[in-house]
Structure 1
Amino acid sequence: SEAGVELKLDFGDIMISAGLTYFHSFVKDLVVWAPNAQGVWRPKNLALSQTTGHEDFVHIDLFRNKIRISYQNTISTSLNKTAGHNSYGKRLSFSPHYITTISARLNLSPLFCSYSVRLVGRAYINEANTRYYDAYRLDDARLGLSYNLSDNWQISIRAEIENIFDTNYVLMTHYPMPGRSWSLFIGLNYQKGKENK
């Protein structure tokens, strides 16, 4: 089950939208993947699990969408509710307590740039909740332009830096995640239906 509320406010050059959703659910016969003692991933079946939490967001648009500031957050608690299980009441593995994204974007046509911060909470990696992956933060930045060459053709150029601070983080044991990376995208788009008649 879930329940939520959303709000939108328009002050001309300032537009605000926000929302909050609460959720609560029980899942029977949940299949959970986890590594065994040899490091091989195997499926396990939980007779009953419970997930409770909330999602919320705030978007602020300034000066007719020239600037957008966004906040998105999910907090959830997933528990083993299988009666008689050794880990009854413990958090499910590989399920971070929170994921939060904060971003800002500037649009000055044809140029745009953005910066985002993603915060991910601690995630347990065993049923007893005695071992865990640390919380981490990832910062990304983008800069680009989109320019109409004609009524039909548009060129797009975008440069990105992901994981700016070369954060060392783990999502799965023995599966290293990428460090700082750079990329450049160049695209040429054709749009039909804009010929002058």
Structure 2
Amino acid sequence: MNTNSMQAATKVCHVVAVPYPVYSVGPLIPYYELDCKSSTNVDEMVAGFKISGVRFLWVARDDTYRLQEDCRDLGLVVPWCHQLKVLSHSSVGGFLTHCGWNSILEAGFAGVPLLTFPLFRDQITQCKQAVEDLKVGLRLKKEMGDKTLVTREEIAKTIQTLMDVDSSEREELVKRAKEVQEICQAAVKKGGSSDADLDAFIQNISQG
């Protein structure tokens, strides 16, 4: 190795060795739409809600009209909503979610217990965090994978368990959800951990 090569190698090693702060902003993954028209689980979900007798708001990006026709007696189906505003409303008693990370965070911020229905990838890990670690939700789907069918009877029973105001299980879920809410809201307040990290990040990039 000649002198110039040795100097270059030394510079590379020096750059790699310099410590840099790490800011967690993931997971950054594409959005994968679910095809409601071909999903038997969606039909079972509609039937399960009807059996449960629980009123609901369903955000369905696809096939909204058909679902609204099927659900008109108990629920409202819309193509979009401001999710955090809906979750923060006092009349919302639970949130059925595929366990996308943003949804988990927004439910935590709003203090709403979950019914988890993960399909793939990071959703499965986040379901475990919500149900087993944070203990703020129930598993609507016991087995993982987008092809796993959950029957309408199972769906209705789990929904009723979550929404039963006299249930000790719901009482515990709500208690835990409120504890998570306090943590989340404290993090984003002035001087909280998220606020402090964002300030540190801006300061670092401003200094080059």
TM-score > 0.5 by shorter chain: no
TM bucket, shorter chain: under 0.3
More helix by share: 2
More strand by share: 1
TM-score by length of 2: 0.22
Which structure has more RCO (C-alpha within 8 Å, separation ≥ 6)? 2
